[in-house]
C-alpha cells in the first residue's frame, strides 16, 4: 500500500527525514550550530530539540573543525551523526576533518572502520548574504574519493536521499540550496529512500539534454517549458548525485539527443559541469554529439552583495533559454 | 592635563577615567558618535523593513560603548579588524554614515562599491580593514596587520574585535598564541554579549570569564563592563599603550548585550523578554553615559537634545545620499576580482 | 646581454627566487613551519634564515589557519609574504583564509585593497607518505575566482614564475611537486620572470595534443619520445598556469592536432583535466576533434602507502604511452 | 591490594605509585613492553635503512614510559587516538609487533593491509583508532569517540595523544573546549618532547607549561616527568578515573624527549649533540625503570636479560612474518575506498 503523500516544503522534508531517523535509530543524533532552540539558521531542525532533547540535537560551539572531527569520531565508534554546517561556506574550516579523516579513514585503516557520517551544507546564493555566505563548493568534495556527494533538488528527494544517506556506511555530503528550503512538493509519509548514485530524468525530451543540479533543475525545467512553446523539446536530467555520477543515464540521454548543456550554480571553471562535459567527451556518447558541449555555470567572481549583480552572477532562466535555444539551433 | 582632568583631580578621587583623560569637547564627541551608531542602525533597520536593503544585518544596538571605548585611544592610522556586527566599530574608527548607507543600499558610492554590504563594511582609509562574515575570520588578519606594523616599524597598533562565540574557534587560539610569542602590537577585544547567535556562553564556553583565557597565551586579560564607556576606554588605553611600547598583545573582554536579535531572522527564543528589557532599562550604554556626562557637568539636557538633532540630520542626509547614488552596472560584475580588472 | 645559465635543481631554483626577492624587496618575508634552521621539510628554504635572519624567515607554530591569516593580514598592509605549507595537504586547514579572505577581500571591499600573497604548496605522491601527505589539491583552488594558481614544471619556470608571482598584486598559489625538487635544469642567474597565464609548448607535434601539468609534463615528454619511435608525433603542452588557463594555446594546438589527451596526477574526477576537456568541448576546437577527449588522471582512491599501489594510483609513462597510442590510432 | 602494594605500604612511605598499584608480574610486563617498543622501532629503523620499508617514520625512542604509563590504567575496550609518532602508543594499547611490521612492509597482513604504513598504524580491535598524519587531527576524533561512549553509556574512556607542536593547532582548542562543556570521558595527553619538528616549545608556545592551558577549559592540568613510568601512570590513573566517574576531561603533559631526529630526513640542526646525549645518558626511561625495578626487588640482572632476549626473539619473528607476508595485488587498489568495494 502506498504511503500517504502530502505537500511539504523542502526544509520540512529534511526535518521529517531527521525525525524519522531519530525516532527509529538510537545511534542517530544531530550536531550543529544553533540547531537547538533556535531551530537552525534556516529553521530546518525546527522543534526537533523539543521532541528529542538536547542530548540528541546538540548545539555546538562555533567550532567547525573540531565539531566535524567530533562527528567523525562518533561515526567510527558506533553512532550516526548528522552534522549541519550553518552555511556551506564554513566547510572551509573543516576540510581537514572531512577530507583527510572522514574520506580516508576507512581506506588508511585497510577497511577496519566505516565512517557513517552525514553532513548537510546549506549552499548557494540569492539571499543577499554576499561573498562569504553564498558559495557553492560541492565540486571540491566531489573531487575527493571516499566521499559521496548529493544535491537533492526536490522535497521528495531531500527526504528520501537523506534517509538513504543514513543507511550508507560511508560519509555522505548533502548540499541543500538555501532558496529551495521554502519550495513545496509531494512527499510521502514514513520511511522511504531515494538511491544515491541514480540521476532522475525530470523531463524527457529529444532535442538536447540539460544536466542540471540542485536549484538549476527547476530553472532548467522552466526554460524547457518555455522552449516547448517554440517546438524545442528538451530532456532535463536532475543529476541528484555528483559523486558517484550516474554515467549511464547521462550517456544514454546524450546518445539520444546528441546535444548537451550542463547547468549549475557553482563557479563555471571546475564546477560539476566540467566533469559532466569531460565524462561525455571521453565516452561512447562523443560520437553522437552534433554540437559542442555547453556549460552554463556561475561567473568567475565571488558572489556580490548588490542584488542585481548577485543575480547576474549565476545562471537564470533566460540564460538557460538562450543557451539551449542556440545549442539546438546550432548557433553558438 | 585637560581642563576636565584638572577639575576632576581637584575634586573627588574616584572620577572615572574618561573624565580625567578627555576634554568635555571630546566627551561630547563620544556622545555624538554613540547616538550616531544607534541611529545609523535604527535607520538601517528601518530601511531594511521598507525593502531598501536586502540580505541580512547584525545590529549592535546596546553595544555602542564598547566600540567607542575601545577606539578611543586609537590614532587615525591605527587599524582594526571587525566582525559581522561591525557597524559600530566602523563608525567608531571614523567612517561616514552616508557611504555606509550607500554600501547597504548596494550603491557604487558605498565603501565597498556595493559588493560587500553590511557584513563586509569597511573603511580602509580610516584604518578599518573590514567586517568579516566568518566568525573569527578577522582575528589572524589582525595579527598579520600587527606583524606588518612591527616589521615596518610604523608605530601602528591593531585592534581586533570579535564576539564571545568567536572565542571557541581555532583561529582565536592560533592567533593569540602567535601574537604573544612574537610580541605584536595588537589588542584582542572580545565583545561578550552573552550569546553566539542563540548559544549562551555558559553553554558554549568552558570558562566563565573569557578574559581568563589570556593566561593560556601569557598575556594580560581583563574583563570590563562593556556598557561603561569610561571603563572600556581605560582598559583599551592600557592595552594600546602596552602594544605601542612593544610589550605585546592583551585581551580585553567587554561584557555587553545586544538589544536586537542576532540577525534579521532571529525570534529570540533562547532568551527571555525580561532579560532583554532589563538590559535596555537598566544598562543601556547611552543612558549611562548621558547620566554620567550630566553628573560631571559636561552636558545638559539641551546639549543632549542638540546632539540628537544633529545626529538625526546626519542620518537623514546619509539615507538620502544612499538612495540617490547610482547602482553598479551589470557589465561591471567582474570588477575587483583581480587587480587588473580594475 | 643574456644572463649566465647554470644547472640548478628545482628546489635551488625556488630558493634562488626567494633569495633575490628577499634581497631586493624589503616587503618580502617568508613564513612557514620549520623553514628556518631546519631549512624546510624539503630543504627549499635551506640556509635562507642564516642569510636573512629569523625576522624575515619566520618559523611559525603549527597553526596553518592562523598562519595563513597572518600572511593575508600582512599582505593587505604592505608586506609581500611568501607562505610555505609544509605539505599541500595541510591547506585543508587553511581553506577559510585562502578562499574566504585572500581570494575575496579585494572584491568584497570594492577594490580598496590588494592581497599580494604568494603561497607555496609541496604536492603530490611518490614519497611513500600515504594518504594524508600525498594529495594534489590544486583543482580546488583553481575553482576559486580571485586566486591565480600555477604549477611550474621545471627549475627555470619555478624561479621565473615565483618572481612573477611576487610582482602580481593578487594572491598566487604555487603547487610544486615534491618529486621535482631534485630535478635539475637550466636556470638563468639574476632576476627574470615567466608570465603567469601562459602555457608552454614543451614539444611541438602534429598527431595529438597532450596537455600536462607539473610532473606529468616530464612523463608526457618521455612518452612522446617513446612514441616518436613508432612514428607518432605528439605535441606536449606544459599548462604551467591552471587559473587562469591559457585557452588560446590549448585551442590552437587542438585545432592543429585534432586529438587531445589531458594528463594530471590529481584525482581524475574534477581534476584540471576535466576543465581542459570541457573548455575544448565547448570551444571552436570542438569541430576539429577527430576523437574523444581522453583524460588520464589519478585513481579514484586516496594515495596508498604500499609503494606498488602508490605508483599504480597515478599516471605513469606506460599509461601515457598506451593512452596516446590508442588515441592516435583511433582505438579507445 | 596487591602483594607489591602490601609490601610497599608496610615499607617506606614514599614508594612510587606503580609499585603500590601493580603486581611484580605486571611491572615486569611493563618492562617487557618498554623494550618491545624500543626494539620494534630499532627494528623498523634498521629495516628502513636496508630499503625494506619506504616512506618515512617518526620514532618515539626515548618516550616509551609516556605511552606505557598513560595506557597503564586503560581497559582493553577503552580507546586511544594516536599521532604520527604512534608506534609506542600502538604497542602500549596492545598491538602485536608482527602485524605492525607487516604494515610497515606494506603487506596485506599489516594492521591496515598495507594501505596506511607507519603514519596510520592502528589496531582498532585493541582500541587504537589510529595514528594520524595530521598534527592534531586525532584530537577532535577522540572527543567524538568520547561523545559516543557517553551516549552509549558503555563506560569507555578515550585517551587522546598529541605532541607539544599540536597544542598550537586550532583543533586542540576547539576539542578541549567541547570535551569540557560536555563533560566527556576523555584524557588529553600532550607528550612534550620539547620540539615540534625543529621548533622548540619556547619558540612556538606562549606558555611554558602546556598543562597550564587546561585552565582555559576549566579542566585539571598536570605536568609530569614523562620518562618516569610511575609518575605518568599515576597521573593517568587519576585522570582516567575522573573520566570514568563522568566528571569530565583532564590534560596531562608528559615531559619527555625523542632520541632520534623528527623523521628520517632530520639533521638535528636545531638542537645540540650535548642535549641529546644528556637525555640518553641521564634520563632514558628504560634505564630509569630498570633501576627502579631492581631497587624495589621486582627484577634482577638475569631477569632483565631474559626480558631482552624474549623481546629480541619477538622482534625477529615479527620482521620475518612481515617479510614473508604477501603484498596487495594491483587489482585491489580501490579496495576500502568505499564500504561496498569490500
Ligand atoms: C565560521 C562561522 N561559523 C558560523 C557563522 C554563523 N554565525 C554568524 S554570527 C554567529 C554568532 C557569533 O557570535 P559572537 O561571536 O558571540 O558574535 P555576536 O553575533 O554575538 O556579535 C554565527 C554562529 C559564521 N558566520 N562563521
Ligand atoms: C597539520 C600538520 N601540520 C604540519 C605537519 C608536519 N609535521 C608532522 S609532525 C610535525 C611536528 C609535530 O610536533 P609535535 O606535535 O610536538 O609532535 P612530535 O613530532 O614532537 O612527536 C610537523 C610539523 C603535519 N603532519 N600536520
Ligand atoms: Mg556574542
Ligand atoms: Mg614534540
- pLDDT digits 0-9 by tens, A104-153: 999 999 999 999 999 999 999 999 999 999 999 999 999 999 999 999 99
Tell me the fold of A7-188.
Answer: Rossmann fold (3.40.50)
Rounded to an integer, what distance in angstroms lies between the CA atom of residue D22 and that of residue D1? 9
C108: contact with A, CB 8 A cutoff: yes
State the DSSP H helix or E strand holding residue C157, giving kind and residue range, or none if neither.
Answer: helix C155-167
Check CB contact under 8 Å for B135 and A37: no
pLDDT attached to residue A20:
98
Q: Which of B82, B113, B95, B40 is nearest to B312 (CA)?
A: B40
Burial of B219 (0-12, 13-18, 19+ CB in 10 A): buried
The string of DSSP codes covering A283-319 is SGGGGG--S--EEEEE-SSPPPSSHHHHHHTS--HHH
Average pLDDT over all residues of chain D: 96
Q: How many residues does chain C have?
A: 332
Of the given ranges (A318-327, C266-275, D333-342), which has the lowest mean pLDDT?
D333-342
Distance CA D234, CA D72 (A): 9
- Does pLDDT of C332 surpass 50? no
Cα–Cα distance, D195 to D255 (Å, whole number):
11
**Does residue C2 register a pLDDT over 70?**
no
Residues A28-42 have a mean pLDDT of: 98
Question: Which helix (H) or strand (E) element contains residue C29?
Answer: strand C28-32
CB B116 within 8 A of CB B82: no
For residue D7, pLDDT over 80 is answered with no
Q: What is the pLDDT of residues D176-198, one digit of tens each?
A: 999 999 999 999 999 999 999 99
Residue of D nearest to B203 (CA): D181
Cα D205 → chain centroid: 22
Tally DSSP H helices, then E strands, for chain D. 13, 7
Report DSSP state, residue B128. B
C96–B171 CB contact, under 8 Å: yes
Query: Which chain D residue's Cα is nearest to C46?
Result: D269
Rounded-to-5 percentages of helix, strand, coil across chain D: 50, 10, 40
- Cα–Cα distance list, D4 to A176, D22, D227, D238, D293 (Å): 63, 7, 22, 20, 12
DSSP A149: E
Instruction: With 0.95 as the threshold, say if the pTM is over it.
Output: yes
Catalytic residues of C, by residue number, are 64, 133
Spell out which residues of chain D touch residue B172, defining contact as CB-CB under 8 Å. Answer: 170, 173
DSSP string, D113-166: TTSS-GGG--BGGGTB----SSTTTHHHHHHHHHHHHHHHT----EEEEEETGG
For the record, the C-alpha cell of A19 comes out as: 525525525
**Parallel/antiparallel/unpaired status of strands C80-84 and C28-32:** parallel
CATH architecture of the region B22-79+132-322 = 3-Layer(aba) Sandwich (3.40)
Residue A84 appears among annotated catalytic residues:
no
pLDDT range class, residue D265, cuts 50, 70, 90: confident
User: In chain A, what is the straight-line distance between the N-terminal and C-terminal CA atoms, in Å?
Assistant: 50
* E strand intervals along chain B: 79-81, 158-163, 186-192, 195-196, 199-200, 221-225, 250-255
Give the separation between CA A145 and CA C135, rounded to whole angstroms. Answer: 11
The SS3 assignment for A101 reads: helix
D198:C36 CB<8 A: yes
pLDDT at B11 over 80: no
The residues with which D215 forms a beta bridge, in sequence order, are none
| CA angle, residues D311, D313, D319, in degrees to nearest 5 | 100
Ligand closest in space to the Cα of B120: 1
Distance of CA B259 to the CA centre of its chain: 15
For residue range C49-101, list pLDDT tens digits in order: 999 999 999 999 999 999 999 999 999 999 999 999 999 999 999 999 999 99
Residue D212, CA distances (Å) to A106, A210, B216, C72, C173 in order: 36, 60, 7, 30, 38
Mean pLDDT value of segment D330-339? 94
Q: Of ligand 2's atoms, which has the minimum distance to the CA of residue D167?
A: 15
Cis omega before residue D198 (within 30°)? no
- pLDDT (0 to 100) of residue A330: 82
Which atom, in ligand 1's list, is nearest to the CA of B85?
A: 21
Q: List Cβ neighbours of A255 (8 Å cut-off, separation of 6 or more).
A: A284, A285, A288
What is the rounded CA–CA span in Å between residue C150 and residue C173?
6
**D133 with C39: Cβ contact below 8 A:** no
Cα angle, residue C308 at apex, residues C304 and C314 outer, rounded to 5°: 65
Checking if the pLDDT of B4 tops 60, the result is no
In the predicted structure, residue D27 carries a pLDDT above the cut 80: yes
C1 exposure class (CB count in 10 Å sphere: 0-12, 13-18, 19+): exposed
Phi, psi of D50 (to 5 degrees): -80, 0
Average pLDDT over chain A reads 97
Distance B172 CA to ligand 1 centre (A): 13
Residue to substitute from C36, C78, C79, C110, interface B, most B β-carbons within 10 A = C110
**Best C305, C318, C319 residue to mutate vs chain D (most D CBs within 10 Å):** C305
Contact B74, B80 (CB under 8 A): yes
- List CB contacts of A125: < 8 A, sequence separation 6 or more: A134, A135, A136, A265, A298, A303, A310, A313, A314
- pLDDT tens per residue, range B285-318: 999 999 999 999 999 999 999 999 999 999 999 9
Q: What are phi and psi of B193, to 5 degrees?
A: -100, 20
Report residue D22: phi and psi, to 5°: -120, 155
Strand, coil or helix: D66: helix
Cell of A48: 526537533
Q: Whose CA is nearest to atom 5 of ligand 1?
A: B135
Q: Who among B171, B206, B207 is closest to D170 (CB)?
A: B171
Question: Hey, how many other C-beta atoms are within 10 angstroms of the C-beta on D274?
Answer: 8
Q: Which of D160, D197, D263 to mutate to test ligand 2, by most ligand atoms within 8 A of the CB atom?
A: D197
- Distance in angstroms (rounded) separating the CA atoms of residues C10 and C177: 10
Helix orientation angle between B97-104 and B24-49, rounded to the nearest 10 degrees: 20
Residue corresponding to grid cell 573548455? C279
| Domain ranges across chain D | 22-79+132-322
Q: Nearest ligand to the C-alpha of residue C130?
A: 2
- Give the pLDDT band of residue B1 (cuts 50, 70, 90): very low
Does A182 touch chain B if contact means CB atoms closer than 8 Å?
A: no
What is the Å distance from ligand 1's center to A90 Cα? 11
Beta-bridge mates of residue A176: A122
Please name which of B233, B106, B96, A107 lies closest in space to residue D116, comparing C-alpha atoms: A107
Chain C hits for A99, CB-CB cut-off 8 Å, are: 92
State how far residue B174 is from chain D, nearest Cα, in angstroms: 6
> What is the nearest CA distance from D231 to chain B, expressed in angstroms?
25
A271-309 per-position pLDDT tens digit: 999 999 999 999 999 999 999 999 999 999 999 999 999
Cα-based torsion angle of the residue sequence D109, D112, D118, D123 in order, rounded to the nearest 10 degrees: -100
**Coil, helix or strand for C267?**
strand
Instruction: List b or e across A83-116, with b for residues whose CB sees 16 or more CB atoms inside 10 angstroms.
Output: bbbbbbbbbbbbbbbbbbbbbbbbbbbbbbbbbb
> Locate cell 561556506: which residue?
A89
**The CATH classification of domain A200-325, taken from the options 3.90.550.10, 3.40.50.720, 3.40.50.12160, 3.40.50.920:** 3.40.50.920
**Pairing label, strands D221-225, D250-255:** parallel
Whole-number Å distance between alpha carbons of D178 and D184: 8
What's the mean pLDDT in D215-231?
A: 98
CA distance C279 to C276: 5
Residues with CB under 6 A from ligand 2: C 33, 62, 64, 86, 90, 93; D 58, 84-85, 133-135, 162-166, 193, 195-197, 262
pLDDT at C330: 82
**What pLDDT is attached to residue A332?**
46
Q: Choose the catalytic residue: A33, A133, A138, A176.
A: A133
pLDDT at D249: 99
DSSP A212: E
Could you tell me the distance, in angstroms and rounded to a whole number, from the CA of residue B325 to the centre of ligand 4?
A: 58
Question: Does C132 lie at the interface with D, CB-CB under 8 angstroms?
Answer: yes
- What percent of chain C is predicted at pLDDT more than 70? 99
Q: Do D130 and A105 touch (CB under 8 A)?
A: yes
pLDDT digits (tens, 9 = 90+) for C138-155: 999 999 999 999 999 999
- Give the chain D residue whose CA is nearest to the CA of B209: D216
- Relative to the CA of B63, which ligand 1 atom is closest? 21
pLDDT tens track for B21-36 = 999 999 999 999 999 9
Neighbouring C-beta atoms of residue A212, cutoff 10 Å: 32
Angle at which helix B138-152 crosses helix B170-181, to 10 degrees, equals: 10
Give me the percent of chain A exceeding a pLDDT of 70: 99
Can you say whether residue A152 is alpha, beta or left, with left for phi > 0 and alpha for psi between -120 and 50 degrees?
A: beta
Residue spans per domain, chain C: 7-188, 200-325
Question: What does the alpha-carbon distance between residue A182 and residue A178 come to, in Å, rounded to a whole number?
Answer: 8
Per-residue pLDDT at A331: 54
Amino acid at each position: 500500500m502506498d504511503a500517504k503523500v502530502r505537500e511539504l516544503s523542502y526544509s520540512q522534508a529534511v526535518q521529517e527525514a531527521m525525525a524519522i531517523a531519530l525516532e527509529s535509530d538510537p545511534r542517530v543524533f544531530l550536531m550543529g550550530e544553533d540547531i537547538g532552540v533556535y531551530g537552525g539558521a534556516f529553521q530546518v531542525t525546527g522543534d526537533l530539540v523539543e521532541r528529542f532533547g538536547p542530548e540528541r540535537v546538540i548545539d555546538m560551539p562555533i567550532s567547525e573543525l573540531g565539531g566535524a572531527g567530533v562527528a567523525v569520531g562518533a561515526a567510527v565508534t558506533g553512532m550516526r551523526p548528522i552534522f549541519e554546517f550553518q552555511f556551506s561556506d564554513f566547510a572551509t574550516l573543516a576540510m581537514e576533518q572531512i577530507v583527510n579523516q572522514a574520506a580516508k579513514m576507512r581506506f588508511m585503516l585497510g577497511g577496519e572502520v566505516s565512517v557513517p557520517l552525514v553532513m548537510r551544507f546549506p549552499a548557494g546564493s540569492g539571499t543577499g548574504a554576499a561573498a562569504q555566505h553564498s558559495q557553492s563548493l560541492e565540486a571540491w568534495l566531489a573531487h575527493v574519493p571516499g566521499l559521496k556527494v548529493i544535491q537533492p533538488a526536490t522535497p521528495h528527494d531531500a527526504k528520501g536521499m537523506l534517509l538513504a544517506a543514513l543507511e550508507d556506511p560511508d560519509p555522505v555530503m548533502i548540499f541543500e540550496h538555501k532558496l529551495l528550503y521554502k519550495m513545496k512538493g509531494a512527499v510521502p509519509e514514513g520511511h522511504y529512500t531515494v538511491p544515491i548514485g541514480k540521476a532522475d530524468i525530470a523531463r524527457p525530451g529529444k532535442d538536447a539534454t540539460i544536466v542540471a543540479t540542485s536549484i538549476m533543475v527547476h530553472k532548467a525545467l522552466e526554460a524547457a517549458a518555455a522552449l516547448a512553446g517554440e517546438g524545442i523539446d528538451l530532456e532535463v536530467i536532475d543529476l541528484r548525485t555528483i559523486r558517484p555520477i550516474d554515467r549511464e543515464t547521462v550517456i544514454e540521454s546524450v546518445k539520444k539527443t546528441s546535444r548537451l548543456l550542463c547547468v549549475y550554480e557553482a563557479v563555471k571553471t571546475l564546477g560539476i559541469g566540467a566533469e559532466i562535459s569531460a565524462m561525455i567527451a571521453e565516452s561512447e556518447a562523443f560520437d553522437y554529439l552534433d554540437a559542442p558541449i555547453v556549460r552554463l555555470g556561475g561567473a568567475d567572481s565571488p558572489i556580490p552583495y548588490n542584488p542585481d549583480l548577485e543575480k547576474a552572477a549565476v545562471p537564470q532562466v533566460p540564460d538557460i533559454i538562450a543557451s539551449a535555444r542556440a545549442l539546438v539551433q546550432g548557433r553558438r | 592635563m585637560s581642563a576636565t582632568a584638572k577639575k576632576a583631580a581637584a575634586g573627588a578621587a574616584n572620577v572615572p577615567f574618561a573624565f580625567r583623560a578627555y576634554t568635555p569637547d571630546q566627551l561630547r564627541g563620544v556622545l555624538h558618535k554613540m547616538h550616531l551608531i544607534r541611529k545609523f542602525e535604527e535607520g538601517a533597520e528601518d530601511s531594511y523593513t521598507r525593502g531598501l536593503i536586502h540580505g541580512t544585518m547584525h545590529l549592535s544596538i546596546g553595544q555602542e560603548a564598547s566600540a567607542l571605548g575601545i577606539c578611543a585611544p586609537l590614532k587615525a592610522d591605527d587599524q582594526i579588524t571587525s566582525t559581522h556586527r561591525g557597524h559600530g566599530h566602523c563608525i567608531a574608527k571614523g567612517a561616514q554614515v552616508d557611504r555606509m548607507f550607500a554600501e547597504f543600499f548596494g550603491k557604487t558610492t558605498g565603501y565597498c562599491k556595493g559588493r560587500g554590504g553590511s557584513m563586509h563594511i569597511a573603511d580602509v582609509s580610516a584604518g578599518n580593514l573590514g567586517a568579516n562574515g566568518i566568525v573569527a575570520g578577522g582575528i589572524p588578519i589582525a595579527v598579520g596587520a600587527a606583524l606588518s606594523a612591527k616589521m615596518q616599524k610604523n608605530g601602528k597598533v591593531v585592534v581586533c574585535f570579535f564576539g564571545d562565540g568567536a572565542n571557541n574557534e581555532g583561529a582565536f587560539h592560533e592567533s593569540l598564541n602567535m601574537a604573544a610569542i612574537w610580541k605584536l602590537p595588537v589588542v584582542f577585544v572580545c565583545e561578550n554579549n552573552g550569546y553566539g547567535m542563540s548559544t549562551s556562553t555558559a553553554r558554549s564556553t568552558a570558562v566563565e570569564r573569557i578574559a581568563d583565557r589570556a593566561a593560556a597565551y601569557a598575556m594580560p586579560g581583563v574583563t570590563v563592563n562593556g556598557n561603561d564607556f569610561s571603563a572600556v576606554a581605560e582598559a583599551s588605553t592600557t592595552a594600546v599603550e602596552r602594544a605601542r611600547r612593544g610589550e605585546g598583545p592583551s585581551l580585553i573582554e567587554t561584557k555587553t548585550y545586544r538589544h536586537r536579535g542576532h540577525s534579521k531572522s532571529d525570534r529570540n527564543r533562547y532568551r527571555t523578554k525580561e532579560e532583554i528589557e532589563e538590559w535596555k532599562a537598566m544598562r543601556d550604554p547611552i543612558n549611562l553615559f548621558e547620566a554620567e556626562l550630566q553628573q560631571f557637568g559636561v552636558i545638559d539636557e539641551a546639549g543632549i537634545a542638540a546632539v540628537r538633532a544633529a545626529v538625526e540630520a546626519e542620518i537623514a542626509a546619509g539615507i538620502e545620499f544612499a538612495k540617490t547614488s547610482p547602482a553598479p552596472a551589470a557589465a561591471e560584475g567582474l570588477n575587483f576580482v583581480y587587480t587588473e580588472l580594475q
